[in-house]
Structure 1
Amino acid sequence: MKRLLSTFILFSLAITVFAQDQILPLWPGLPPLQKESNLEEIQQQNGILRISNVQIPSIEVYLPTKQIATGQAVVIFPGGGYGILAYDWEGTDFAKWLNSQGIAGIVVKYRLPISQSLTNLKEVPLLDAQRALRLVRHHAKIWNIDPEKVGVMGFSAGGHLASTLSTQYSYDLERTKDAIDTISARPDFSILVYPVISFQDQFTHGGSRKNLLGENPSQEQIDRFSNEKNVNSNTPPTFLVHAQDDLAVPVENSLLYYQALRANEVSASLHLYPSGGHGFAFGMGKGAVENWRLVLLDWIKTLN
């Protein structure tokens, strides 16, 4: 009986270890565009896990069981105005939900451009985003992922980062590189949820623009990070969802990106809801917008 009990305990532990998510640093050693410092990451749990002052960017990997795996993966960028990361609300909760649909979910804990340890603030989030895509493709085989079915998902400012990656995936900085840097960082598809897209005065989310570009950005910087201006025919197919009563990030952000995609003959699916506000995430208890995830799943199934 004791031997049977011991065997059961060991088996249970094995299942637990197998089911655990994996956390991998994005960079070996000190990340690029960062100096040595004594700064530490801050995590605050008050209904939502809010992470700030990220010093060691990472990916947290959630994989579906092989029996239901589709081979698709979604790299998730939580929002938070480039000041914090709403890490569970717009990150790990969605990774777990995607797993239930047979899709790998990879949450990116990217560095935020207000940290005093960074040396080139505006370039750091995109650099981390590029690395995250490349790292997923680097591990695709062992994670049972098709490297040609890796998309991105971003919420609010995370949507700005996802759309920046979708339009500037080949943007290159002079720095020390390794073999992973040779892998394509182009997403195969994009899912943008109440995204910040434009940094133009009349449409932008002021906090996101200020945190990324500072108080008085040049027009050149504004244009570079107004992603509706950077869409071309190679921009990935995109799903957009937004509420018309969003008072933080105007619905025009999604409209401008959709119009740019259409103008460049890129496949796009735009879904607007009359209410839901900003930051609705799953949309639970928010009326019709609660259905957006089912619409998303139907769209994902149409992807090649």
Structure 2
Amino acid sequence: MRKFTIYNDDKTIKRILVLKLILYVISLVIGLSNFLLLLLILFILNIPLLRKSVFGRLPTDTKVLRKSGVLRFYESYEYLPKLKLDIYYPVEYFRKNVPEMTQDVKEDVLRSAKGIVLFAHGGGWITGYRRQPNNTSWYRYLVSEGFIVATIDYERGYKAGIEQLVDELEIALQFVKGIMKKQGVDRKISLMGLSAGGHLALLTASRFPEDVDRVVAYYAPCDLLDIWKSPSIFARIAAATTLKRLPNKDRYIYEKYSPLNSVNEKFPSTLLVHGLKDSVVSFHSSVKMFKKLRENGITSKLLLHPSGEHGFEFVLRDKRTIDIIEKTSVFLEGQVW
């Protein structure tokens, strides 16, 4: 009969555990490195888009306007834990040489403003922030035109998911409305967004049409399935990361969160803007949305730029771009050309 000897060697056990730990760390580093490498590749591929998205400005954003201090009268709030909101008031365009925004001045501005606009930034739901230079360019223009502009940060899509982002915009809408009511101003608020922000604006408007005056969406993915026809790798990854699904597995999720499928007869008046050369979100997405709005009897306008790419208003300086920007202001004021 054979005898088996069991060696209870603590050193051997420790060596095995250390070896396993080392292998685990190496695999973790390799996995993290691959993820970082993917992010780096995406960043390099999207440098032109990121550059104009972050540092671009409107052709109407002149040097004189930038130096005018038009955005110096503002208030900041935390509308949700760790999520900020700014409200800019066009004080100096109603009362010249005002050293500070007193309560009397503020009430005068609230009564006299052309409208109130809640602005949602773009960035594929996973990037961007409210004080990004290109977004600030829009605030300067709208405030100089006499609008009160509220702008928010919202949670990243890869952490929150699409439903939470829509909820946050709706909460911000009610938050701003509450601030206005406290000042004795009870008026509807318009929603405006760029790209992913436009998508969120349209979805929010479809859910709470009674609280929204008008909607402006620049190059928004109105049909999320269109993103998967786009050559943009960033757009596809951003959509999959935010919706937590791939369209070939859960097509209904993409259909559910496509504004195109949320249009009804109560939808607010809408302005859609898109560039025909957009390689991130196809202009067909806005065209389909426009047709659906018209079918439901909604006052709507579609402005197309023949040579516009994604974020074209921050790059192009031609007459057509300026005309689109100016018509956006006219639309938000309540006029339809």
User: Normalising to structure 1: TM-score of the pair?
Assistant: 0.72
Q: Could you tell me which residue of structure 2 aligns to residue 178 of structure 1?
A: none
Cross-structure match for 1:52: none
**2:182 aligned with 1:195:** no
- C-alpha deviation, 1:142, in angstroms: 5.1
State yes or no: 1:252 paired with 2:284.
yes
- Per-residue CA deviations over 1:124-172 (Å, capped at 9, x if unaligned) read 1101100111011101145675422x101100111111111111238xx
Q: Provide the identity percentage.
A: 22
1:23-63 Cα distance to aligned partner (Å, 9 max, x none): 11112xx4xxxxxxxxxxxxxxxxxxxxxxxxx22211101
SS at match of 1:250: coil
The corresponding residue for 1:58 is 84
The alignment status of 1:122 with 2:154, answered yes or no, reads no
In structure 2, the residue matched to 1:154 is 193
Q: Are 2:163 and 1:131 aligned?
A: no
* DSSP-derived class of the 2:173 partner: helix
Instruction: Name structure 1 gaps, 5 residues minimum.
Output: 1-15, 31-55, 171-183
Change (3 A) 1:147 1:283: farther
- Please tell me the residue identity of whatever aligns with 1:103: F
Contact 2:264 2:296 (8 Å CA) reproduced: yes
Query: Which residue, out of 167, 174, 180, partners 1:140?
Result: 180
Aligned counterpart for 2:244 among listed residues 192, 214, 217: 214
So what's the TM-score if we normalise by structure 2?
A: 0.65
Letter paired with 2:143 = N
Q: CA RMSD in A?
A: 2.5
| 1:263 corresponds to | 295
Distance 1:146 1:196 in 2: 31
| Higher relative contact order structure (alpha carbons within 8 Å, sequence separation ≥ 6) | 2
Distance 1:24 1:123, change over 3 A: same
2:203 to 153, 164, 174: 164
Secondary structure class of the residue paired with 1:189? strand
| Residues in 2 aligned to 1:219 and 1:164: alpha-carbon distance in whole angstroms | 18
Secondary structure at 2:136's aligned position in 1?
Answer: helix
Does the CA-based 8 Å contact 1:203-1:253 persist in structure 2? no
Amino acid at match of 1:60: D
Higher helix residue share = 2
Tell me how far 1:283 sits from its aligned partner: 4.8
CA shift at 1:287, angstroms? 5.6
AA of the residue aligned to 2:191:
V
The alignment covers a number of residue pairs equal to: 242
1:22 aligns with 2:75: yes
Q: Which residue of structure 2 lines up, in the alignment, with residue 274 of structure 1?
A: 306
Q: What letter matches 1:79 in structure 2?
A: G
**Larger deviation, residues 67-76 vs 217-226:** 67-76
Q: Is the 8 A contact 1:283 1:290 kept in 2?
A: no
How far, CA to CA, are the matches of 1:203 and 1:169 in structure 2? Answer: 30
Counterpart in the other structure of 2:3: none
SS at match of 2:312: coil
Aligned with residue 141 of structure 2, among 76, 88, 97: 97
Asked if the contact 1:238–1:269 (Cα under 8 Å) also holds between the matched residues in 2, the reply is yes
In the superposition, relative to structure 1, how do residues 196 and 266 fare at CA in structure 2: closer, same or farther (>3 Å)? Answer: same
- Give the superposition deviation at 1:123: 1.5
Q: Distance in 2 between matches of 1:81 and 1:166?
A: 19
- Choose 1 or 2 for highest CA Rg: 2
